[in-house]
Amino acid sequence: MNLGKQLFLSGIGILALPWIGYQYLSDVGNFLIEGQERTQLLAAQAVASSLQNRNDLFEAQFETENTTGISTLFAYPTDYLIKIDGYRLDWEELAINSTHYASENIIRSGLNYDPKAFSFQMALGQRDKYLYALIQVTDSSPIYRNAAYRRLDNNDHVQIVTLNQQGEMQRFILTTQEPGPLTAYLVGPDWKYPVSGKPVTEILGFWRQSRKGYNIEFRLPLSLIGDQKRFAVAVADVVDDTKREVQTLIGTVPTTWSTQLNRIELRSPELIHIIEGLKRPGANILVVDQFRRVRAHITDNMYSSVAARNRNEEAIREALNGHPATQRFRPDDDANSEVIMAAFPIRSETGILGAVIVELATDEILSLQKETLENSATQTALVITAILAGLLIFSSRLTYRIKRLENEISELIDNVGRLQPLQEISYLQSRDEIGGLSRTISSMLVQLKKYTDFLEHMPRTLKHEINNPLNTISTSFQNLAACQLTERQKTYIESARRGINRLHSITNSIADAANLEAALKNEEFGPINLSELVRVYVDSCQHANPSRHFEFICTEPAIHIQGNSFRIEQLLDKLVDNAIEYSPLDSSTHLSLESSGQSILLAVANQGPPISDRIRRKPSEQGPRIQHSASGDHGIHLGLGLFVVRTIAEHHGGQVNIGNKEGHQEFLVSVRFPLYSR
């Protein structure tokens, strides 16, 4: 594990501080919410006090609440204009309050009624002096009006019943010949024929097909409903296009109460005006009567009042029983927000008129109260972030310094292990542990450089020291040769001369190898026709060694490289000398040259003893490190030769590969050079 990770793990313990702060904030938040519940209850009490003994605001509807069981239809107020086009886009919020009508609301029906085949749901809205309705009908096969028939009830249609200002019942049919605008007619009690041939233009409607059936959207003036606010709707379904008889009729008023109408519950404008002056920022205030009907509602864009379906009605029941109550719930449209509801009863001398409900989201409640605590949390987070950032910067700098020191030291040693000219490494003046490490390494490198220089000069020293006694021995043998010697003595002297020549060759090779890289640095390169150079060289070798056979294979007359011709010939000398020395007298030496892509391959192959895996894996090692083995390895001559070949080849941008061919019976050395393009 690197230093950065170790320091990072060490700093994780600091993260416990934010957790402790979070627990503290949670406890304080709960305390503030409990305090807000009491505050909201006081606010609800203040609104209820302003409505105390105001029986007139709840009208006669409170006293004559429907006891027959007929449901009340609620018309929800809206501030935006609803376009009569059959689409439900304008009803996104109001449609949530749609009431579904099916088997429980059948006025009449044939046998085998299927609610999946025919039913509807309806939502009501109020804006200015108009009542709006959206009816979504499920019908697999709608039947439109046939213009050839005068009757209005022999097709799918909508029936509307209201009470006018005189308390008389009015019946209207909405029908159409095709999807599009609806036509409204005033009809008689039998729902068959229009009272007059003229349509009722005050009622606007639209029929639009849907995936499950069709949507009907209509608007009628509130003046058609009258002061009693009585209203009922029914949808008729005709199945047989030939008989054209109503098979199923479903309405908002079931069969038992067919002479009764639903009550339309509208908001009280005067009540809304009173509580409008008492609204609070972010609060949602509702006034309900004893029957839990919403009589007034104002909001400050906290959330849609129709979306609060998770509200528990227990708190409202408690308030209507005369007991203040509070409750928390989560609205459907924002599951991440919690709402506090406080309910307080509205009293009068005759009893409980209703209740005031004040709702406020907790995120709004705590926004100001928690500001100071959040600032503290922010400061703590900044301090912790600064500490972690400091640890990260420190670990990064420490890692960078160690990595830089590592790179500088590695650059002082080349790929063959030779120490390069020393340069001052970093952090020698630093007073920390890395500075001490840098100074220690620098001292070690100085000592190692001295020892390396001694080793590099050793070949030349050995050459001088060995050549002097060898010259003396050679002179002595020459003097002995001038004397009268027996044949046996001459044989011994000749053998000794060959050994002396061998020692001269070894010392010269060692000295040349030691000085080769330094000599190559000062030489200039130029274009060389390698195919011509090798061809001339092979001819020269054949003349110098008539007992040997040399073969050169090259299909291209001119193959050029960028280099030094003298060094290329020196490379060939080493390869050919090795081939001559370690191959049988009657064998052939094969040289080949070919170009492939952007490279040139020069290969020298000869028969002879195989080369070991150790030498094949390490062709770049210097000769003195490769010792003669009992397995017949190429000995010290081969090692020095390979070193010279590799050094010259790499100086020309090439690579050297050695190996055995044809079942270890042929030895191959190949050199790959980059192709020179003029």
pLDDT, tens digit, 9 for 90 and up, residues 8-44: 666 666 767 677 766 777 777 778 788 888 888 998 8
Query: Is the pLDDT score of 338 beyond 90?
Result: no
pTM score above 0.85: no
The confidence score (pLDDT) of residue 641 equals 76
Name the least confident of 258-272, 400-414, 649-663.
258-272
Q: Give the pLDDT mean for 3-9.
A: 64
Sign for the pseudo-dihedral over CA of 149, 153, 156, 158: positive
Q: Tell me how far apart the alpha carbons of residues 374 and 498 are, in angstroms, rounded to a whole number.
A: 97
Which runs of consecutive H residues, i.e. helices, occur in 482-564?
487-520, 530-544
The confidence score (pLDDT) of residue 183 equals 95
Q: Tell me how far apart the alpha carbons of residues 13 and 10 are, in angstroms, rounded to a whole number.
A: 7
End-to-end CA distance of the chain: 53
Structure tokens at 445: 């490198």
Backbone angles phi, psi at 257, to 5 degrees: -115, 40
The residue with greater pLDDT, 151 or 56, is 151
Give the pLDDT band of residue 303 (cuts 50, 70, 90).
very low
The residue with greater pLDDT, 336 or 318, is 318
The confidence score (pLDDT) of residue 301 equals 52
The confidence score (pLDDT) of residue 218 equals 96
The confidence score (pLDDT) of residue 314 equals 84
What is the bridge-based pairing of β-strands 169-175 and 180-181? unpaired
Contact 216, 207 (CB under 8 A): yes
According to the 3-state scheme, what is the secondary structure of 188-222?
CCCCCCECCCCCCCCCEEEEEECCCEEEEEEEEEH
The confidence score (pLDDT) of residue 200 equals 94
Give the pLDDT band of residue 334 (cuts 50, 70, 90).
low
Name the least confident of 41-45, 174-178, 272-276, 524-528.
272-276
Return all residues near 81 (Cβ < 8 A) that are at least 6 apart: 90, 127
Task: Tell me the average pLDDT of the chain.
Answer: 80
Query: Is the pLDDT score of 613 beyond 80?
Result: no
Query: Is the pLDDT score of 397 beyond 50?
Result: yes
Q: Give the pLDDT mean for 596-609.
A: 86
Distances from the Cα of 12 to the Cαs of 5, 16, 22, 177, in angstroms?
11, 8, 17, 75
The confidence score (pLDDT) of residue 70 equals 66
Name the least confident of 201-215, 294-308, 526-540.
294-308
Could you identify the residue written with the tokens 């980059």?
Answer: 674
Distances from the Cα of 414 to the Cαs of 23, 46, 448, 618, 647, in angstroms?
60, 90, 14, 16, 13
Query: Is the pLDDT score of 250 beyond 90?
Result: yes
Query: Is the pLDDT score of 381 beyond 90?
Result: no
Q: Tell me how far apart the alpha carbons of residues 483 and 276 are, in angstroms, rounded to a whole number.
A: 143
Could you identify the residue written with the tokens 């030498």?
Answer: 615
pLDDT tens readout for residues 479-500: 887 787 788 887 888 788 778 8
The confidence score (pLDDT) of residue 1 equals 58
Query: Is the pLDDT score of 616 beyond 70?
Result: no
Query: Is the pLDDT score of 215 beyond 90?
Result: yes
The residue with greater pLDDT, 627 or 42, is 42
Could you identify the residue written with the tokens 């009693």?
Answer: 228
Contact 91, 232 (CB under 8 A): no
Q: Tell me how far apart the alpha carbons of residues 150 and 197 are, in angstroms, rounded to a whole number.
A: 10
The residue with greater pLDDT, 204 or 455, is 204
The confidence score (pLDDT) of residue 34 equals 84
The confidence score (pLDDT) of residue 636 equals 42
Contact 235, 249 (CB under 8 A): yes
Question: Which amino acid is located at 342 in the chain?
Answer: A
Return all residues near 24 (Cβ < 8 A) that are at least 6 apart: none
Q: How far is CA 126 from the centre of its chain?
A: 48
Query: Is the pLDDT score of 139 beyond 90?
Result: yes
CA trace torsion 396, 398, 400, 403 (10° rounding): -130
Query: Is the pLDDT score of 206 beyond 80?
Result: yes
- String of DSSP letters for 229-265: TEEEEEEEEE--TTT--EEEEEESS-GGGTT--EEEE
The confidence score (pLDDT) of residue 324 equals 93
Give the pLDDT band of residue 101 (cuts 50, 70, 90).
very high
The confidence score (pLDDT) of residue 307 equals 40
CB-count exposure of residue 407 (10 Å: 0-12, 13-18, 19+): exposed
The confidence score (pLDDT) of residue 272 equals 76
Q: How far is CA 23 from the centre of its chain?
A: 31
Q: Give the pLDDT mean for 514-537.
A: 82
Name the least confident of 284-293, 304-313, 429-438, 452-461.
304-313
Query: Is the pLDDT score of 61 beyond 70?
Result: no
Query: Is the pLDDT score of 455 beyond 50?
Result: yes
Query: Is the pLDDT score of 254 beyond 90?
Result: no
- Name 194's bridge partners: 187
Q: Give the pLDDT mean for 356-380.
A: 74
Could you identify the residue written with the tokens 């404008």?
Answer: 269
